Amino acid sequence: MSLPSLSIIIPALNEEVLLSTLLSTIQQQTISPEIIVADAHSIDATREVAQRFGARVVEGGLPAVGRNAGAELATGEWILFLDADVVLPDSFFLERMLNELARTKWDCVTADIVPMSERRYDRFSFWVYNRYVRLWGARRAHAPGFFILVRRSFHKKIGCFNESVVFCEDHEYAQRAAKAGRFGFLNSVKVQTSVRRFDKDGRFTIAWKFLAAELHLLIKGPIYDDKFHYRFGYGDDARKK
């Protein structure tokens, strides 16, 4: 059985170190996807790193802007949106992912997330998140922007990412996807992501911010202003990881 073609899109800002790690894990996969890095005017070597790994570089901006810019040029049947601070834990990750897709009729999917941390709090908080979003399922879909897999045609059908949404644009996208098509969760793969935001902003601060954002989404809907002070990119922080 032939697998569908895949494009990977990575929005990035000053991510020369972590982007290199991610692209290395993509390079080691048993299949070779198209890779597009949407660079938000980095001042480090992000572009050079992307090009060294054979990725196509496009002009980016905030994550929603970068994802849309990359998707506009993607050629794969499926688009996988990743962030620069994730890794694919083994060389069969993409192959298992696409094999599972071939047995389903989903239009947009996500997966459980695992922290690159041994701290009990981190592992527990990620476990709670995974259980919470699976409990909601497609009724109020959630999909973290660092792992969203969608049919390219369906991405266009639902109007792409809403670039006016300032925070939690990924969950807003997932909820539109679930209303317009079939939304699900992969069981064959789990994506690993860094906890650098926890380290930088503090675990209590992050927990409170995302709890407040979730309540906002439930009660008021999408977040169109900067009340949660989201900042994209890590600059020197990325170089220290």
Write out pLDDT tens, residues 129-146: 999 999 999 999 999 999
Task: Spell out the domains of the chain, with CATH numbers in brackets.
Answer: 6-240 (3.90.550.10)
Write out pLDDT tens, residues 90-149: 999 999 999 999 999 999 999 999 999 999 999 999 999 999 999 999 999 999 999 999
241 pLDDT exceeds 50? no
1 pLDDT exceeds 90? no
Residue 238 confidence (pLDDT):
41
Write out pLDDT tens, residues 26-57: 999 999 999 999 999 999 999 999 999 999 99
> Which tokens hold the place of 76?
């794969």
Positive or negative, the Cα torsion across 169, 181, 73, 27?
Answer: positive
Residue 234 confidence (pLDDT):
65
Residue 229 confidence (pLDDT):
81
User: How many Cα atoms occupy the beta-carbon half-sphere of 142 within 13 Å?
Assistant: 18
Can you tell me the distance from the alpha carbon of 89 to that of 26, in angstroms, rounded to the nearest whole number? 10
Taking the whole predicted model, whether its pTM rises above 0.85 is answered as yes
H or E element, residue 58 = strand 56-59
3 residue type, one letter: L
H-assigned helices in the chain: 16-27, 46-52, 63-73, 93-102, 120-136, 152-157, 169-180, 196-201, 203-219, 236-240
Reported confidence tier of residue 228, pLDDT bands at 50, 70, 90: confident
Number of Cβ within 10 Å of residue 40's Cβ equals: 20
Residue 235 confidence (pLDDT):
54
